[in-house]
Amino acid sequence: MDRAEVDAKIREIAEPFNKKGVTITEDTSFQNDLEFDSLTVMDFVAEIEDEFDIIISMNQQAEIEKYGQLVDAVTKMQAD
């Protein structure tokens, strides 16, 4: 899957978690813009992990603040 396809898939997964309907760009922050709390993060990450059959450990999550960083990380992980 290339980056654009990963992006489209993650956008689809993010949709139900985006309660306030924030417009998601590469720079959208999960904590500040989307206001995800720790439980939401867990459910959101679990869905991405299941979709791409990968693990995003909490150590890796700590490096991901913005939407674009997540797409980059997942694109790389599912290619490995």
Partner 1 sequence: MSEGISQPDQPQTLEGHKGDKDLFSKFDDIIAMRQGLLDSGVEDPFNLVMEKVLSPTRAICNGRETILLGTYNYMGMTFDPDVVEAGKQALADFGSGTTGSRVLNGTYQGHKDVEEALKDFYDMDHAMVFSTGYQANLGIISTIAGKGDYIVLDIDSHASIWDGCAMGNAEVVPFKHNDIEAMEKRLRRIPGDAGKLVILEGVYSMLGDVAPLKEMIAVAKKYGAMVLVDEAHSMGFIGENGRGVVESAGVIDDVDFIIGTFSKSVGTVGGFCVSNHPKFEIMRLVCRPYVFTASLPPSVVATACTSIRKLMHGSNKRAHLWENSKNLHKGLKDLGFQLGTEEPQSAIIAVIMPDLQQGAAMWEALIQNGLYVNLARPPATPANMTLLRCSLCAEHSEEEVGEILEIFEKSGKAVGII
Does residue 79 bind partner 1 (CB under 8 A)?
A: no
Please pick, from the candidates 3, 33, 51, 54, the single residue that binds partner 1 as defined by CB under 8 A.
54
Count of residues that interact with partner 1, criterion CB under 8 A: 15
Please pick, from the candidates 27, 46, 76, 79, the single residue that binds partner 1 as defined by CB under 8 A.
46
Residues 27 and 65: their CA atoms lie apart, in Å, by: 9
Output 18 or 60, the one with its CB closest to partner 1: 60
Question: Which residues in this chain contact partner 1 in the complex, by CB under 8 A?
Answer: 37-39, 42-43, 46, 49-50, 53-55, 57-60
